[in-house]
Amino acid sequence: MRLIHTWPLAFSALLLLAACGGNSSTADADKTMKYEDYPAYEGEGLGVTYTPAASSFMLWSPPAEAVRLLIYEKGDIGEPIEEIALTRGDQGAWAAAAPGDYKGKYYAFQVKIAGKWLEPVPDPYARAVGVNGKRGQIVDLSETNPPGWENDRRPPLSDPNAIVLYELHVRDLSIHPSSGIQNKGKYLGLTETGTRSPQGLATGIDHLRELGITHLHLLPVFDYLSVDESQLDKPQYNWGYDPQNYNVPEGGYSTDPYDGAVRIREFKQMVKALHDAGIRVVMDVVYNHTGATEASNFNQLVPGYYYRQNAEGGWSDAAACGNETASERAMMRKFMLESMKYWVQEYHIDGFRVDLMGIHDIETMNLISRELHRIEPSIFLYGEGWTAGASPLPDSLRALKANTHRLDRIAAFSDNIRDAIKGHVFTHDDTGFASGKPGLKETVKFGVVASTQHPQVRYDSVLWLNPARAWAAQPYQTITYVSCHDNHTLWDRLANSQPEASEAQRISMHKLAGAMVLTNQGVSFLHAGVEMLRTKQGVENSFNQPDSINQIDWSRKARYRDVFNYFRGLVALRKNHPAFRMTSTEAIQQNLVFIDHPDPLLLAYRINAAAAGDTWKEVMVIYNGNRRPAALDIPDGPWVVVVNDQRVDETGIAKVNKTKLSVPPSSAMVLVR
């Protein structure tokens, strides 16, 4: 989902509508219906429950006059081979039991409302589907577990501040010829070890392990609309922010999208391989809208209910994709909660990135957090604390960035630090602190303390802060980042905003930006390929662009090996030293002190590392955004330089005994003692 902040709404709606695959139609549900009067089903068992002896089917649809289940031999063609009528029960639920073994058969529900049969579709709770997700499939989930699945364990995690996120599209990792991966563009591509680039360097999962990340954030891997799974021999690409079946893995990343069990098994193989490599798995989830509107599974079964309506009775569209869901309604809330619980329990997912989280209500997000943390205390939840347009739900009720302090163990992306480092995200030639723009020092300081309250930050001078106060209650609630799948890669952005700079100068700015992300407090987030100066050939919105734009070119790892080593060193530095990831606002307030300096492009601060539980006694961090060396008075040494403009070395690069330090242009320095 695009990160809308200050775009004109007309333009954002046009672009997002294309990216999401939605439409701008209006609701035609019965305007006399009061959705709040629909009874909520409080039990379990919605969807399909399989046993060899019989299968049970349950659907929630209070306005339905009749409901029937259609059974098919194939997932894409053919007429029904059987029709089963469902019986109305309590709380708007309809149910049927079918004796016999239905494993492998396909199905769809169809409801009759106002005398008209709507289209047959899978139920929202469908756990397996046939090709292109048009029909559900009845599977035995126990048969989809790969060898050793019962012994799969989440890699250890001390606390959320220790997380280093890495955002990746499944296809991007392996599709380039230089990846050395056989299962290109597939879940299984993330299970292959020992893969190498033509230059002999690690690629794929071995590269991720070498880099040292803790969590792999996967762009949408639920079943989405925009890729034709029956034409996988033809190159197709989409980010996947157009949901179709929320509880089913996307078939385009499987080796056989026709058999619903295959994608499930291969997804689990991917998760297990990543866990075995010491990497947790985060799903990018898009509950805020659906790819289709009238034709969506939700709308064909309970018209209008799952969506918000505007004052005119049409579809409200805070997602700029044709619709927005109504998380405050009981059954949408129940669906979101049970869907995420299902991914955690069935697929061992370790966390969720919530797309356009600002569309959802705070009560729903907090309920989800509480329930997921009961299942697994180390689950990590974070999201975009904004919307792409206006919503009828009041701001005070929504999970917006400004309300993050009211969220329970949920983090939000910091557009404050993003734009402070590189410049305004939608002004392509704008510069930031790392590329030499003054006036951003207070925003950088705000990023250093992870959007929390600190006595040395002037909040009225921080970008995108309304009201002018800290929005994170604790540091883990801030996702510190400079680039992601949206907008230009960091390398392309520097090319746009610094066209006169040499490649060497832009590399220095790029490394400074990375150092700022990985030495700030809070949770660090890296866009896949940033460690090798990833380019998308200048394309900003690559949601449906070909592989030639989106793929990771692994030859860049060899070409820019020093940049990769720099990022790898920064990740290790962060993981090894708790001074960079203090666990509370109070600890940051007590142990982090900014050093006053008049230069608007020189920022320095000291950390009482020993008090933060570090093996080092004290740490000093310096960012120089100037294109020239900068002088800084420092306390008496000796100090040991562990990060400079060239490399990262925890054993020491140089010793400094002087009280005046020269900081290289466009660089970060870390000194310890």
* Contact partners, residue 32, CB within 8 Å, separation at least 6: none
The CATH number of the domain where 138 resides is what?
2.60.40.10
pLDDT band (50, 70, 90) for residue 365 = very high
Listed residues 114, 144, 174: the one ending a domain: 144
Q: Is the pLDDT of residue 16 over 50?
A: no
pLDDT tens, residue by residue, 570-579 = 999 999 999 9
How far, in Å, are 263, 563, 605, 629, 651 from residue 640 at the CA level?
51, 22, 16, 19, 9
Q: Which of 327, 305, 414 is nearest to 5 (CA)?
A: 414
Work out the angle at residue 71's Cα, subtended by the Cα atoms of residues 66 and 73, and round it to the nearest 5 degrees: 160
Instruction: Report angle CA 113, 119, 124 to the nearest 5 degrees.
Output: 90
Residue 557 lies in a domain: no
Domain-located, residue 342: no
Give the model confidence (pLDDT) of 408-450 as tens digits. 999 999 999 999 999 999 999 999 999 999 999 999 999 999 9
pLDDT for 284: 98
How many other CB atoms are found less than 10 A from the CB of residue 538?
A: 14
pLDDT given at position 563: 98
Residue of 552, 555, 564 whose CA lies nearest to 184 = 552
pLDDT digits (tens, 9 = 90+) for 169-196: 999 999 999 999 999 999 999 999 999 9
Mean pLDDT to the nearest integer, 448-467: 97
- Percent of the chain scoring above 70 in pLDDT: 95
Question: Which range among 2-16, 143-157, 405-419 shows the weakest confidence by mean pLDDT?
Answer: 2-16
Q: Is residue 266 part of a domain?
A: no
As given in the structure block, the two tokens for residue 313 are 């009775």
Give the model confidence (pLDDT) of 533-557 as tens digits. 999 999 999 999 999 999 999 999 9
Section 235-261 average pLDDT:
98
Mean pLDDT within 439-468: 97
Which of 167, 223, 350, 384 is labelled catalytic? 384
Annotate 633-656 with DSSP letters as a single string: E--SS-EEEEE-SS-B-TT-SEEE
Q: CA-CA distance, 422 to 415, in Å (whole number)? A: 11
Q: What is the mean pLDDT of residues 208-227?
A: 98
In a domain, 663, yes or no: yes
284 catalytic residue (yes or no):
no
Which of 123, 144, 165 lies at the terminal end of a domain, its last residue?
144
Write phi, then psi, for 289 (nearest 5 degrees): -160, 170
Q: Distance (Å, rounded) from C-alpha 241 to C-alpha 570?
A: 31
Active-site hit among 294, 355, 361, 415: 355
Domain annotation covers residue 619: yes
Confidence band for 637, pLDDT divided at 50, 70 and 90: confident
Q: Domain count of the chain? A: 2
Average pLDDT in the chain:
95
Q: Which residues contact 365 (CB under 8 A, 6 or more apart)?
A: 327, 354, 357, 381, 383, 399, 407, 408, 410
Beta-sheet strand order (sheet of 54-60): 47-50, 54-60, 93-99, 87-88
- Token code pair at residue 472: 């994170």
| Residue 94 Cα distances to 59, 61, 100, 163, 179, angstroms | 5, 7, 20, 44, 50
Mean pLDDT of 605-625: 98
Q: In the prediction, which pLDDT does 20 show?
A: 58
Task: Classify 569 as helix, strand or coil.
Answer: helix
Bridge partners, 136 (sequence order): 107, 129
Q: How far apart are CA 591 and CA 579, in angstroms?
A: 9
For residue 112, count other CB atoms closer than 10 A to its CB: 15
Tokens 């020093």 found at = 562
Q: Containing domain of residue 592, as a range?
A: 587-672
Active site residue 503: no
Domain presence at residue 654? yes
What mean pLDDT do residues 385-407 have?
97
Among residues 64, 68, 97, the alpha carbon closest in space to that of 80 is found at 68
- Report pLDDT digits (tens) over 58-114: 999 999 999 999 999 999 999 999 999 999 999 999 999 999 999 999 999 999 999
Q: Tell which of 82, 117, 144 closes a domain.
A: 144
Residues 119-141 have pLDDT tens digits of: 999 999 999 999 999 999 999 99
Cα(257)–Cα(479) distance, integer angstroms: 35
pLDDT at residue 15 in the model: 35
- For residue 601, name the pLDDT band (cuts at 50, 70, 90): very high
622 lies in some domain: yes
Domain CATH code at residue 666 = 2.60.40.1180
Return the SS3 of 519.
helix
Distance CA 176, CA 172 (A): 8
Q: Say if 78 falls within a structural domain.
A: yes
Give the pLDDT of residue 18.
40
